[in-house]
Structure 1
């Protein structure tokens, strides 16, 4: 497989001969205001420009939207992505949102979903701690991940916007993924802590799945993402997991 880090949580996953665009945020730098109630909300999003040509980003076979927060499914993506492409979403509510933007092939991920012979299974996650969800759960919303499985490929677990918790732990045990893609930018809400993984969460995943290759994404492109790539790489070296953790720069592609 080949994974290309586009920007923030936006990836292209080339798997079993098909190209999937994941969580597209495609607007130019500084298009949107910072998220209210978060650190550094004086900054505008995205905080960096795209470095991958748009033609390459859009040359895909399908789109996966793990949830419809604007840093995963923005207005630019809705305008630029061809309306005929299949778009996979987590539930009926998100399907309605995507359909309202004019997309006519919207598919809800389920246990037995597939695309061109590739099994796609929705997984659960939680967009923050139990305390954060109890306090601002309506704002954080529902999130999901995806398992990619094919006889000719390694199994991939795209965790989505979640912190380390029992959902993630059980997914690792159930699906035994060879590759785990983690949203690792330590994005936070003021007073409520991280709402995606921080460096300690990445370590927890490594300790629970020592044979898996980890990929860190969703870093350095939105105002409330606090963990820098250099910091995560240094932490990985300290913890003895640098050999199995990719922390790609925007525009970087690599094979696994």
Structure 2
């Protein structure tokens, strides 16, 4: 497979000859206001531009949307992606939203097979139990997805989740060889992390030490608090430099 980080959590994935686009956010730099009640809310989002023209990322066979927060599915993506593209979503509510945007082939992730590639939806949680008790209605349901094919390594895209029992169970059940973690330690002020922080990345590594971890969701929105430099330094400190990849925007890997 070839996996390219576009920006934030937007990925281009070539998997068993099928081209997927994951969680597209195509907005120009600074289009959205900072999120109130979060760190650095004076900054506009996205805080950086795309690494190339949008057209470089729209030539795909299907789109996967783990959830429909603005930083995973935005108006620019909806406007610029061809309406006939198959779009895979986590549940009927997101399916209905994307259909309302005139996409004609909107499917559910769970149990799907697309051009020989199997997709399996996985549970996650957009913050700790304490965070969800206060902000759960706003944060909503999130999901990950596991990609499998006989000729490819198993890929687990965890989505907007913190380390918890769901993630531990997903790792144990699917034994992925490549794991994408949204690990910018995005936070709500006074509550804490709503995606993985560096300790969560370490917990994933300890649970599945042979897997290659790819860190995304970094340095592109106002409430991201963990930098790439900090995560690379932490990975070196914990002896997991060879297992933790921290790509720059636009960077791609072959697995």
TM-score by length of 2: 0.99
For 2:144 and 2:113, locate their aligned partners in 1 and report how far apart those are by CA, in whole Å.
15
Q: Tell me the residue number matched to 2:235.
A: 236
Please list every run of 5 or more consecutive structure 1 residues that lacks an aligned counterpart in the other structure.
none
The secondary structure found in structure 2 opposite 1:55 is helix
Q: Tell me the residue number matched to 2:216.
A: 217
The secondary structure found in structure 1 opposite 2:57 is helix
**C-alpha offsets along residues 138-177 of structure 1, whole Å, 9 cap, x if unaligned?**
0010000000000000000000000000000000000000
The secondary structure found in structure 2 opposite 1:243 is coil
The secondary structure found in structure 2 opposite 1:27 is coil
Q: Tell me the residue number matched to 2:92.
A: 92
Q: Tell me the residue number matched to 1:7.
A: 7
For 1:214 and 1:163, locate their aligned partners in 2 and report how far apart those are by CA, in whole Å.
15
The reply to whether residue 250 of structure 1 matches residue 249 of structure 2 is: yes
Matches within 5 A, 1:37-186: 37-110=37-110, 112-186=111-185
Please list every run of 5 or more consecutive structure 2 residues that lacks an aligned counterpart in the other structure.
none
For 2:253 and 2:35, locate their aligned partners in 1 and report how far apart those are by CA, in whole Å.
31
TM-score by length of 1: 0.99
| CA deviation after TM superposition for structure 1 residue 53, in Å | 2.3
Runs of 4+ more than 6 Å apart? none
The secondary structure found in structure 2 opposite 1:171 is helix
| CA deviation after TM superposition for structure 1 residue 245, in Å | 1.0
The secondary structure found in structure 2 opposite 1:20 is strand
